[in-house]
A = this chain, B = another copy of it.
């Protein structure tokens, strides 16, 4: 492929007039080297442009430093925000992120995890989909850490980070009631993702305890266009809802736009809307969407901390439940 290739530790050793082990030790924090040789090595390395070969190091140490991020729909606001947080925190923890894109096809996540295994990733973080049990078993057996974010799974081993969707749903119901709304609706995608379904169930259940029925509509993936479509379905009914909880901010944005510009409904006067995720667009002047903020920084922090910690016998809980924060903006009628 290429000619000269990378400079190796041998060349550095020769130039610095030391043994190859010395070079290795000079680049290993905490290794036994005198300050003098270390300096000689570093200098020679810089002159030659030497950088430790992490492939070889990983092979020996049996620890690649690679963490595999498995995710679909990377270009989506919420996903990309989480991605930013994860990559940044991984970097400061001395790890490096390997990004594997999945689609909705069968076995997509499994293939991604196999990629992670091939590269001997120290850990994999799964943001989308759910891998086959046999593969996760293989990962764990191989000594690979696993983190599931917002995936509803109960097998032990992986760290599971989840949001309290039910609590959130309850809070939306109270907010809507306090605003004097009566005809509640839930706008969902029909992707059937665990967290989306949890929000829906929680919302319906909470409304029921208040003696209210909820109109539920599901359509497409969780996107802006689906939001518009959902609005068209719900707002052409004879009994229009006056309060809609959208499973996702993206859905909410589409819903709002359709409601305003197609149905000339004014928000929040005639229609209260709450979303979920607190994507950047939710704060834009055109939307001012009241929504739940996913604590992406905390999520990433928990994940990174867990997977760079020593596997202390019981590593405490392998499951974390975080609480989204309700961000009040202008899309819910004042009480």
Residues of A within 8 A of B (CB): 1-7, 49, 51-56, 58-59, 62-64, 66, 69, 73-77, 79-81, 83-84, 87-88, 91, 96-101, 114-115, 117-120, 138, 141-144, 224, 228, 253-254, 257-258, 261, 280-281, 284-287, 311
Contacts and interface: CB of A to CB of B under 8 A. Distances in A.
Nearest to A102: B91
Contact of A75 (B59, B80, B91): B80
Contacts of A83: 74-75, 80, 99
Given A54-B118, A55-B64, 5 more contacts: A2-B144, A75-B80, A96-B100, A99-B99, A258-B285
Nearest to A97: B99
A76 B63 CA distance: 32
B141 A4 contact: yes
Given A59-B53, A284-B253, A4 B74 contact: no
Given A77-B77, A80-B74, A141-B4, A51 B99 contact: no
Given A52-B118, A58-B55, A115-B96, A285 B311 contact: no
8 contacts: A51-B118, A55-B55, A75-B83, A87-B101, A96-B98, A96-B119, A261-B286, A286-B286
A98 B6 CA distance: 19
Contacts of A55: 55-56, 58-59, 64, 119-120
B120 A54 contact: yes
B88 A101 contact: yes
A258 B284 CA distance: 10
B280 A257 contact: no
Nearest to A88: B101
A78 to B, nearest CB: 9
Given A77-B75, A98-B97, A280-B224, A118 B258 contact: no
Contacts of A114: 51
Given A75-B80, A100-B91, A101-B84, A257 B281 contact: no
A286 B144 CA distance: 46
B141 A49 contact: yes
A10 to B, nearest CB: 15
A229 to B, nearest CB: 13
Contacts of A311: 1-2
Contacts of A257: 284-286
